[in-house]
Amino acid sequence: METSKNPVKFYGLLYISKKANDGAYLQRIDPQKRIELYFRMALRLAKGVHSRFGTALNLITNEGDEIATLLEKITGSKTSNFITIKQIEFPSSGIPEGARYFSATHKVMLFDYFSRQADYSVLLDIDMICLDGDSHPLTNYFENDIPLVYDISDQVFPAHGYARIFDDMQKFGQTDWHFRWYGGEFIAGSAGFFQELSERANSVLPRYTEIFASLHHQGDEMITSFCLNQMRACNSQHLPLDLSAPDIVRRHHGKATLHDERRFSRISKIGFLHLPTAKKLLSSNLADRTIVRVLSVAELLPRRIAGPFLAVVGMVV
């Protein structure tokens, strides 16, 4: 177990909206069941964070009572030493309900919340696994208040096309071709970093609301990436460190895609593994390492076979 000298708090978001468009992976599931699946993913992540760092995951939501009921239903207890439910008030406007990933986009609303916290805040997507990586220096970064992000340009550009993404960025005012794309699954820093990020995000949201339907990607990553590129352009004092090169954070789709897919054979350094297409596995009772082994098999299969393979595994676990 690792501990940090400075106060560090880990956060996840489970924003509940039964009517909104929340992505493609669980659309066919009943909305109430979908909420339970997301909460089960959060519990898995929370257990990993508690085991690795000795602290609870703070799950922020807009429906605390509903999540508390799920906690008691699943664990048999109203309280937990590895997850804390925090209900906060979200602004009533700012994010268009018709946009994809509506619930997840509320992550940008949390930047202001973190800017008012005395602790170093780590915001995680809940469809992640916290692994016992052997050599990643996360605790050192936390202790020194170093802002951290995850650059996934090498995954996104081949899949969607650099020119197309740049065209979308220009709609927000991006003029520098040397821009990068950042994932929303891992964003960490002190209050000063999140204050600047919040101010920039608030200035971008009105434009996002106007043009979201024309964008190749709708969601928090579009907003956050533009803001972080602004910070790069002005050489901000809060410029974050990218965790992609040391492979501390990794996004993996579990099957052959146009995205960069590094094999699981060299997984020992990874601290946080994001699995956006494996939500049913993540909500199951399988151990983290068993899920990794299942995905290790899937990534060796042709895409036309890997998808059905993961679907079958997801149904039987």
Dump pLDDT digits (tens) for 202-220: 999 999 999 999 988 899 9
| Residue 18 CB coordination number (10 Å) | 11
Q: What is the CATH number of the domain that holds 107?
A: 3.90.550
Task: Provide φ and ψ at 87, rounded to 5°.
Answer: -90, 130
Q: What is the pLDDT of residue 266?
A: 59
Cβ-in-10-Å burial (0-12, 13-18, 19+) of 192 comes to middle
Residue 23 lies in a domain: yes
Structural domain count of the chain: 1
3 within a domain of the structure (yes/no): no
Other CB atoms within 10 A of residue 110 CB: 22
The phi and psi torsions of 240 (rounded to 5 degrees) equal -85, 160
Residue 163 included in any domain: yes
Does residue 155 belong to any structural domain of this protein? yes
57 contacts 80 by C-beta, under 8 angstroms: no
Specify the DSSP element, H or E, that contains 103.
helix 102-105
Whole-angstrom distance, CA of residue 73 vs CA of residue 78: 9
- Cα-based angle 27, 44, 95 (whole degrees, multiple of 5): 45
pLDDT of residue 63: 96
The DSSP secondary-structure symbol of 89 reads: P
Tokens of 194: 């999140």
**What pLDDT, on the 0 to 100 scale, is given for residue 141?**
93
Dist CA 170 CA 34 (whole Å): 35
- Per-residue pLDDT of 11-58, as tens digits, reads 999 999 876 666 555 666 777 888 999 999 999 999 999 999 999 999
Whether 41 and 87 have beta carbons less than 8 Å apart is answered as: no
- Residue 139: is it exposed, middle or buried by C-beta count within 10 angstroms (0-12/13-18/19+)? middle
Q: Which two tokens stand for residue 247?
A: 């492979």
- C-alpha 166/C-alpha 248 separation (Å) is 27
Chain CA centroid to CA 2, Å: 22
Show pLDDT as tens, one digit a residue, over the chain (317 residues): 444 455 899 999 999 987 666 655 566 677 788 899 999 999 999 999 999 999 999 999 999 999 999 999 999 999 999 999 999 999 877 788 888 888 999 999 999 999 999 999 999 999 999 987 644 588 899 999 999 999 999 888 887 888 888 888 889 886 776 889 999 999 999 999 999 999 999 999 999 999 999 988 899 999 999 999 999 988 899 999 999 888 889 998 765 444 445 556 556 578 899 999 889 899 999 999 899 888 888 777 777 787 777 777 765 55
Domain membership of residue 297 (yes or no) is yes
Residue 2 lies inside a defined structural domain of this protein: no
272: left (phi over 0), alpha (psi -120 to 50) or beta: beta
CB neighbours of residue 242 within 10 Å? 18
| Residue numbers of the domain that contains 180 | 8-316
> Which element (helix H / strand E) includes 241?
strand 241-242
In a domain, 1, yes or no: no
d(CA 124, CA 10): 7
pTM: 0.91
Domain-embedded: residue 209: yes
Give 251's strand partners. 274
Asked if residues 240 and 225 have their Cβ atoms less than 8 Å apart, the reply is: no
Task: Give the residue from 260, 201, 195 showing the smallest Cα distance to 225.
Answer: 201
